[in-house]
């Protein structure tokens, strides 16, 4: 019986086309965080998890990501960071968009590590910040109106199509002013 199996294996090996073995997709190009930052064209800030906010948990979440040839984040893996902050960071980064990366005149996938920083100002309000101003202060929408109806911060964040981080005024930095900014839009 073993001679029959051996003969069949030998026959299959002889009939198989030479040099045609299944090949894996090329590994993504490894780029530094700084290099990939220059390619970033759309960034969504994370929503600070309510329990982490109540517990005043802050920190940096580092994620290993793969950016596909279209500039979309196709794979996100936790590299390090607090478990209460990681899901919010991962959800936000999955929505980021990059300019496609070209290597040797060909668009290729890219692998890198990105940081998402969660920090709270010294006051009572918490904010979700990526690239925070000194003291972790950022603009925070506390309420607004959707379709003529007053809406909470959470409802407004769910409807948000784009977030633009405010520029910390030079005079405020010089005067060491900080605190939450409340808007009623």
Q: Write out the H or E segment, with its range, that includes residue 182.
A: strand 181-184
Of the candidates 105, 62, 99, 110, the residue with the CA atom closest to the CA atom of residue 82: 62
Q: SS3 for 46-91, per residue?
A: CCCCHHHHHCCCCEEEEEEEEECCCCEEEEEEEEECCCCCHHHHHH
Segments making up each domain of the chain, as ranges: 25-118, 134-185
Cα(147)–Cα(142) distance, integer angstroms: 17
The per-residue pLDDT for 136 is 36
The per-residue pLDDT for 172 is 75
Cα(100)–Cα(110) distance, integer angstroms: 9
Task: Tell which wins on pLDDT, 180 or 148.
Answer: 180
Q: Are 125 and 138 in contact (CB under 8 A)?
A: no
The per-residue pLDDT for 154 is 65
The per-residue pLDDT for 23 is 62
pLDDT tens-digit map of 151-182:
666 666 666 666 676 776 778 778 877 777 66
pTM confidence score: 0.55
pLDDT tens-digit map of 63-100:
999 999 999 999 999 999 999 999 999 999 999 999 99
CATH (residue range 25-118): 3.30.2420.10
What is the token pair recorded at 139? 């603009």
* pLDDT average, residue stretch 116-120: 90
Q: Considering the chain, what percentage of its residues have pLDDT values greater than 90?
A: 39
Task: Tell me if residue 136 falls in helix, strand or coil.
Answer: helix
The per-residue pLDDT for 22 is 54
The per-residue pLDDT for 126 is 39
């Amino acid at each position: 019986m073993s001679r029959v199996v051996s003969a069949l294996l030998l026959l299959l090996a002889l009939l198989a086309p030479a040099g045609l073995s299944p090949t894996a997709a090329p590994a993504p190009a490894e780029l530094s965080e700084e290099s990939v930052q220059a390619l970033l064209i759309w960034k969504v800030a994370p929503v600070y998890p309510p329990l982490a906010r109540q517990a005043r948990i802050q920190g940096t979440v580092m994620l290993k990501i793969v950016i596909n040839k279209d500039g979309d984040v196709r794979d996100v893996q936790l590299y390090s960071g607090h478990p209460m902050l990681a899901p919010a960071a991962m959800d936000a980064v999955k929505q980021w968009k990059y300019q496609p990366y070209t290597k040797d005149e060909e668009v290729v996938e890219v692998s890198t590590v990105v940081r998402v920083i969660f920090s709270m100002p010294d006051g009572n309000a918490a904010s979700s910040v990526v690239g925070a101003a000194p003291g972790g202060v950022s603009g925070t929408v506390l309420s607004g109106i959707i379709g003529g109806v007053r809406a909470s911060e959470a409802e407004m964040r769910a409807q948000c199509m784009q977030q633009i981080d405010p520029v910390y005024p030079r005079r405020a930095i010089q005067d060491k002013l900080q605190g939450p900014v409340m808007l009623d839009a």
